[in-house]
Amino acid sequence: MRCLAVTLPGPADFLAWRQAARGLVAADIPPEQAEWVVAGDMPGLLAEAPAPPPSAAPFSVPRAFLDQAEIAIRHSDPERFALLYGLLWRITRGERHVMQAATDPAVIRLGALAKAVRRDAHKMHAFVRFREVQAEDGARHIAWFEPDHHIEEAEAGFFVRRFASLRWSIVTPRRSVAWDGAALSFGPGGRRADVPPDDATEPLWRTYYGAIFNPARLKPGAMRAEMPRKYWRNLPEAAEIPRLLAEAPGRVAAMAALLAPNPRPQRQVHLSAPARVAPDMRTPIEPPTDPAMALAALREELLARPDLPAFSARATQPVFGEGPVGAALMFVGEQPGDEEDIAGRPFVGPAGRLLDRALAQAGVARSEAYLTNAVKHFKFTATGKRRLHQSPDAGDITYYRPFLAREVTAVAPRLVVALGATALAALAALTGRKLPVLKTRGQVVTGLTRHPVFATIHPSYLLRLPDEGAQQAGFVDFVADLRAAAAQAAA
């Protein structure tokens, strides 16, 4: 069997790949007979690719495939072109809904490629540092960056929008990008030595980073995960990290010594689980004969409890779940926020509005899902007129877990979606070990009351991301998670 060579002008030219792929589909050439190469590579003794027939009938593909493919093609995996064409071939040969098959190996691989590209783009946005150099025609700013994938051209627009008033260049090993204040240009790659090692702004970066460094929230593991060491040599502030890590314990102790005692201490409450429910939640819960009545009784019981956590007295009201009994999907968040506490309804604040938008894009109707929280009262710290969210601790989760178990049993969903770390900690009590959200994300584990639990992030996580590009990329991944959860529930 002879293969047909398809030569693309660039390693991330999606339009060229799309046109070539349409021609191959129109010519009825299966994936195993197409050999994809980039201009400059040696295709060997391969036949020329046929031109698409002029009379070829047009065809359409799902938007979900195009969105993922346009990003995944920037990956450095040499098999990416074949992967995309293999999926396109299946879509045009009777598997139009293959992108909804969350367990399909090719779909999983496509999602992994796109996710890696988005992460690489996020790192580029965060870790490019310009150095000023003086040229004959004035100042110019130059930066060095080492991307893992072919993202230079796709991300150039981000830097144009952010640094439109500067003349700048970004040099990478494969490609260089330049902006002269009016137009973009691209050229061959360069070397680290082509970029000056420092400039007059280096001390400013170090001072700024030292000022915003919070020793009380030091998490070295998370820091290394978000800022891998491969980027440190390009970041002026990285030189301050060893000193700041060494000084952190002393600074925390000094901060604690300056804190004044609380003039109005709160009554301490023992946060143990009710005696009728075993702490490890292994006691079976019988499904109620009337689920709606059971949920109403659960509300009344919580309102009448004499041993509620101290912070519940400061909240406006408890916030219970809402949605139909028997819903296919049950979404469990952390706790009510400020707007939820006032309205008495779950997910009506900023995170809730973001969740609504993601559900709509994932094809999930909110009215057909059940939404609730692991903790039923708003826990906050008052600062003037503002009420700042305070994360529930292990005791809070333990106290409310029996109520959540009975709520899940009454609703009886096909799949419970844990939104964030607190929800996953409350729902995955039977696993016997701590499950990190980012490592468990997209997986299904056995949860509270033996219901399957699908782990993903809380929408508020997206609101805390540092820039718009990261938020958009994170939102796309979140929608993909919700779509996968819906497919899992339907299956």
Highest mean pLDDT among 41-45, 70-74, 385-389: 70-74
Question: Given a cut of 90, is residue 114 above it in pLDDT?
Answer: yes
Q: What is the pLDDT of residue 375?
A: 95
Q: What is the pLDDT of residue 45?
A: 42
Q: What is the pLDDT of residue 461?
A: 92
Least confident of 29-43, 280-294, 401-415: 280-294
The residue type found at 240 is E
pLDDT band at residue 201 using 50, 70 and 90 as cut-offs? low
Q: How far is CA 258 from the centre of its chain?
A: 37
Cα–Cα distance between 490 and 371 in angstroms, integer? Answer: 18
Neighbours of 17 (CB within 10 A): 23
pLDDT band at residue 97 using 50, 70 and 90 as cut-offs? very high
Cα–Cα distance between 279 and 273 in angstroms, integer? Answer: 6
The residue type found at 70 is E
Domain ranges across the chain = 4-122, 128-194, 202-256, 291-490
Cα–Cα distance between 242 and 35 in angstroms, integer? Answer: 49
> Which CATH architecture does the domain made up of 291-490 adopt?
3-Layer(aba) Sandwich (3.40)
| Beta-bridge partners for 332 | 372, 418
Q: What is the pLDDT of residue 282?
A: 47
Total number of residues shown for the chain: 491
Phi, then psi, of 448 in degrees rounded to 5: -55, 135
Beta strand segments in 398-446, E: 415-419, 444-446
Mean pLDDT of the chain: 84
Match 């804190």 to its residue by tokens: 259
pLDDT band at residue 218 using 50, 70 and 90 as cut-offs? low
The residue among 451, 474, 452, 453 whose CA lies nearest residue 463 is 474
Contacts of 88 (CB under 8 A, 6+ apart): 21, 25, 61, 65, 69
Q: What is the pLDDT of residue 432?
A: 45
Q: What is the pLDDT of residue 426?
A: 87
Highest mean pLDDT among 33-47, 406-420, 443-457: 406-420
Question: Given a cut of 80, is residue 227 above it in pLDDT?
Answer: no
Question: Given a cut of 50, is residue 207 above it in pLDDT?
Answer: yes
Handedness of CA 450, 325, 462, 97 (dihedral sign): positive
Q: What's the burial of 369, exposed, middle or buried (CB within 10 Å: 0-12/13-18/19+)?
A: buried
Q: How far is CA 426 from the centre of its chain?
A: 21
* Residue 203 vs residue 121, higher pLDDT: 121
Q: What is the pLDDT of residues 264-274, one digit of tens each?
A: 555 555 444 44
β pairing state of 34-38 and 131-135:
unpaired
Q: What is the pLDDT of residues 383-426, one digit of tens each?
A: 877 888 899 998 899 999 999 999 999 999 999 999 999 999 88
Q: Which residues of 377-405 are buried (b: 16+ CB within 10 A; e: fewer)?
A: bbbbeeeeeebeeeebeeebbbbbbbbbb
pLDDT band at residue 34 using 50, 70 and 90 as cut-offs? very high
Percent of the chain with pLDDT over 90: 52
Phi, then psi, of 67 in degrees rounded to 5: -60, -45
Cα–Cα distance between 13 and 11 in angstroms, integer? Answer: 6
Helix (H) or strand (E) holding 47: strand 47-48
Question: What DSSP assignment string belongs to 299-321?
Answer: HHHHHH-S---GGGGTSS-----
* Residue 72 vs residue 128, higher pLDDT: 72
| Beta-bridge partners for 330 | 370, 416
Q: What is the pLDDT of residue 46?
A: 45
Q: What is the mean pLDDT of residues 209-221?
A: 69
Cα–Cα distance between 175 and 256 in angstroms, integer? Answer: 50
* Residue 71 vs residue 5, higher pLDDT: 71
Cα–Cα distance between 14 and 70 in angstroms, integer? Answer: 6
Phi, then psi, of 414 in degrees rounded to 5: -75, -35
Q: What is the pLDDT of residues 355-381, one digit of tens each?
A: 999 999 999 999 999 999 999 999 998
Cα–Cα distance between 53 and 34 in angstroms, integer? Answer: 17
